C-alpha cells in the first residue's frame, strides 16, 4: 500500500502503460485486502482466528481466563511451543494453536525423508490433526524433545483424571 502511494506521488512509472496501471491497481487492491483484516477483527472480534481456536475447547471467557492463568505461572518453552500445566500452546508468531493435554490421543514424529524436516503430528480425541514442521517459518525446535514433553504432559494429564 505504501509503495503504491509513493508511486502515485512521484508519478512512477513515467511512461504509463496499461500494464503499469493494471499492476499498480492489483498491488493496491491486494494491499487494501490485507489491511482490511485488522479492521474486520476490530469490528467483529469473534471472527479473529485466535478466538476460533480458543472457542474450540469451551466458552471463550473461561478458556481465555484459564490460558491467562496458566501462562502467568511456570511455563516450559521449547521453540514455538509453550507447555503449561494443562495446555499445549503453539505460537509461531503468525499462527496460534492450543490443545488441552487431556484431548491428545496420539503424538508422533513423521519424517518425509531426505533433507525434508521432521514434523510432529498430533491427533486429538475429536479427530483433529495438527502438524508442525521444524522450519524457520514455523519455528525451530528439537522434534524429539518436544515429542517427549508432549507425551509426558499428556500422560500426567491422564494420571490426574483417573481415580486412584
Mean pLDDT across the stretch 128-137? 89
DSSP code of residue 39: H
User: How does pLDDT run across 21-46, given as a tens digit for each residue?
Assistant: 777 788 888 888 888 888 888 888 88
What is the rounded average pLDDT of the residues 147-151?
92
Give this prediction's pTM. 0.71
Angstrom distances, CA of residue 75 to CA of 69, 70, 71, 81, 106: 11, 8, 6, 10, 22
Amino acid at each position: 500500500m505504501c509503495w503504491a502511494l509513493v508511486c502515485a506521488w512521484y508519478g512512477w512509472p513515467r511512461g504509463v502503460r496499461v500494464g503499469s496501471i493494471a499492476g499498480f491497481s492489483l498491488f493496491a487492491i491486494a494491499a487494501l485486502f490485507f489491511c482490511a483484516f485488522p479492521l474486520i477483527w476490530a469490528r467483529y472480534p469473534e471472527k479473529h482466528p485466535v478466538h476460533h481456536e480458543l472457542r474450540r475447547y469451551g466458552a471463550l471467557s473461561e478458556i481465555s481466563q484459564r490460558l491467562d492463568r496458566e501462562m502467568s505461572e511456570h511455563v516450559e518453552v521449547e521453540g514455538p511451543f509453550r507447555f503449561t500445566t494443562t495446555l499445549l500452546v503453539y505460537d509461531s508468531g503468525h499462527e496460534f494453536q492450543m490443545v488441552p493435554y487431556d484431548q491428545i490421543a496420539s503424538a508422533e514424529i513423521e519424517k518425509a525423508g531426505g533433507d525434508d524436516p521432521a514434523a510432529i503430528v498430533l491427533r486429538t480425541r475429536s479427530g483433529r490433526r495438527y502438524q508442525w514442521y521444524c522450519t524457520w517459518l514455523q519455528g525451530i525446535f528439537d522434534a524429539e524433545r518436544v515429542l517427549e514433553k508432549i507425551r509426558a504432559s499428556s500422560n500426567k494429564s491422564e494420571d490426574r483424571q483417573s481415580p486412584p
